[in-house]
Each structure stands twice: as structure tokens, then as C-alpha cells.
Amino acid sequence: MRTYLIAIFLSFTACSAADKHTADYVAPGSFAVGEHTFTFVDASRATPPNGSYAGAPTRTLPTVVWYPAAGHADGTTIDAAIAAGGPFPLVLHSHGFHDDNRGEHYLAEHLASHGYVVASPQYPLSNGSAPGGATLADTPNQPADARFVIDQVLAQSATPGSAIAGAVDGQRIAASGLSLGGLTTLLVTYHDKLRDSRIRAALAIAPPSCFLTATFFSTAKVPLVLLAGDADLIVPIQANAVRSFGMAQDPKQLITLARGSHTGFAALASVLDPSMNYDRIGCSAIAGATGVNSFAALGGESDGISSDTSVCPMACTGTPMDPSLAADRQHDLTDAIAASFFDGNLKSDAAALKFLQTKFAGENPEVTSALH
């Protein structure tokens, strides 16, 4: 009997020690963060004309790669040596419209400190400094860009002397993205013709996804987290993240941030005034966006792309909810979600998934969660 009780006690102690909390995932990880920028050129595909821009026969993708680095975990170091303990999982992160490859650097650096390689390409025509002006019309080309960048990062990892030689585990790959990058994440994960079957988990942050149907999500059972704010004026949560949550296959989780805005997920929001909804500024930045009808080029009903435009509300027509959830708080919550979600799915960390699925909302009053 005594041996039996000791066994129960030890088992209980082990389970308790494995329990995780928000602080574990908000805090920086144990690794220093290295950073290297590559310029990848896909000579097999063209960049189309865009306004005054004549186009190009290739697609150029400047890509920032953050990775676990040797040394003390005290910040980001350019071209530092790769940390011991690899190879590490890879996260392909896609930026939003009018954004760039450093637009969510806080998230990339955080994941790198927790033992991930994060590659963030700058898409040719949707970034804020795109020739001819940022356009949505190039969206159908971005999933192939993402696949190409994954290929190139894996090639660099396999190349002796590369800044990231030996850093990447090609069997553990995930995708994340904000806004248009969230849509790119969904496309490269689930679209029947555009998807990359190597992706094992997807984090879509405030994705414009109102036109995606259950058919779209039927191609793959890839674990999905949809993250959005209930004060999002640009991509309203009910028509997008909530609707997509209902369409997607299990396993899936919808995480909603009270008073969270669309712009609040961007790194630059940290310098804005939180007394007003950050999307008042974000809406000004995207005014006059072109190429919205390009989403129809992603496919038809057979691809899971709805032709019913009535399901998609116009951006920036809702009533602003003031004040915003403070950007730094929104970033911390995003960091915790990403680190625990990817730990659970790419590192087989059961305690991480348990935390995200059963504890995270209870520990953070701004958070509500739906799980299926």
C-alpha cells in the first residue's frame, strides 16, 4: 500500500511540475536570437505589372530569418552562431497588406528565443513599399512564394557555411501570418492547389477569410488557431475568423481578444495612442486599397472560394470601439499563443497544448476561447 501511495504522489508531482502558465510563454525563451537576411529569387515565376511598374520576369523575396543563437539570451544578434540543440522547427511567417517582413518582428524574435527558426519573406507587391503601390491583386501568387521560401530556407540549412547551416528540421514546419498574411497562411495550408503538405500547424491572425467555405478546409486536417480581436474594424471577426472557425475541420481553436484591434497586432502599434481604437489609423493606411476582386482568382466553389460577396463586409465601416487593448498586451498574448501552440504541435509538448486549450483564457481576462 505504501509503495502504491508513493507512486501516486510521484505521478501527481510530475503532472504538477509539467503544468504551464501564461508567464511561461510570455517570457522570452532560453535562447539568444540571431538574425540574417537572405534575398531569394524565384526565376521560374514572374512579378506582374502593377500600376506604373512594368513587372519583372522573376519574383524577388527578401527574407529575414530569426533563429536560436549561441550566447546569452539578451537580445537579437546579427549573424550569430547557431545555438546547440538543433535542428529546430521552422515557422514561415507572412506579413500583412502594406506591411513588410519585419512587421511582426516581436513575434518572430519571441519564437526564435523559444527554439524556432522563423522565416519572414517580403512579398513583391503587397508590401508597403511595393513598386506601383501596394496591391491585393498579387495575393494568388503569395502561397507559391511561401512554398519557395520554405524550399530555400531548407536548402540554406543544408548548405555548409550558410548563416543557418544545420538550423532547420524539415520535418517540423508551421505557418503563421497577420491579416493578408493570415489569408496566405490559410491558402498555403489548406487550398487544394496552392497548399504545402509539409505544414503541420497554422496560426492565422485576423485573416480576411469570409469567402472561404467548408470545402476549402476539407483538404487537410492541419491543427489551426484563428486569433482575432473583437474590435477589429478592418477584418471584422464575426464574418471572418468566427465564420472560418465554423467551416474548418478539427482540431481547431478560436481565440478572441476583448478590445483587440487589427492594427494592434502590428509591431508599430506600440507607439500609438491606445485611448482610441488603433484601427482608426490602420483604416487610413489602407484607404483606396486596390485588387480586392483578385480574391476571386483564388478559385471557384470547387476550390472552396465562395462567389457570394455578401458574406464579406466592407472594411472600416463599423463603429470604432475605444479604447484599444494596449498593443504591448496584445503582443504578449499573441506571443504566448504562438509559443504554446507551436510547442504543442511541433515539439509534441502535451503540457503546452493543455495550457492553451484549457487554461489560457482563464488566466487572462481579455481572452475567450472556443475549441473543437
Residue-wise pLDDT tens digits, 117-132: 999 999 999 999 999 9
Q: Which helix (H) or strand (E) holds 174?
A: strand 168-178
Q: How far apart are CA 31 and CA 35, in angstroms?
A: 13
What share of the chain in percent tops pLDDT 70?
94
- Helix/strand/coil for 106: helix
Give the architecture-level CATH label for domain 33-371: 3-Layer(aba) Sandwich (3.40)
| 260: pLDDT strictly greater than 70 | yes
Q: Which of 251, 235, 206, 237 is CA-nearest to residue 94?
A: 206
| 62: pLDDT strictly greater than 80 | yes
| 14: pLDDT strictly greater than 90 | no
Q: Among 16-30, 171-185, 187-201, which is the least confidently predicted range?
A: 16-30
Q: How far apart are CA 274 and CA 326, in angstroms?
A: 6
Beta bridge partners of 257: 229, 367
Strand-pair category, 199-205 with 224-229: parallel
Q: Which of 38, 283, 106 is CA-nearest to residue 179?
A: 283
Q: What is the mean pLDDT of residues 244-251?
A: 97
Write down the mean pLDDT value for the chain. 93
- pLDDT, one tens digit per residue, over 299-341 is 889 999 998 878 888 899 999 999 999 999 999 999 999 999 9
- pLDDT, one tens digit per residue, over 67-118 is 999 988 888 899 999 999 999 999 999 999 999 999 999 999 999 999 999 9
Please give the DSSP secondary-structure letter assigned to residue 30. S
Cα–chain-centroid distance for residue 137?
Answer: 21
Q: How confident is the model at residue 290 (pLDDT cuts 50, 70, 90)?
A: low
State the Cα torsion 206-356-84-197 to the nearest 10°: -60
Predicted TM-score (pTM) of this structure: 0.94
Number of Cβ within a 10 Å radius of residue 362: 10
Q: State the pLDDT at residue 84.
A: 96
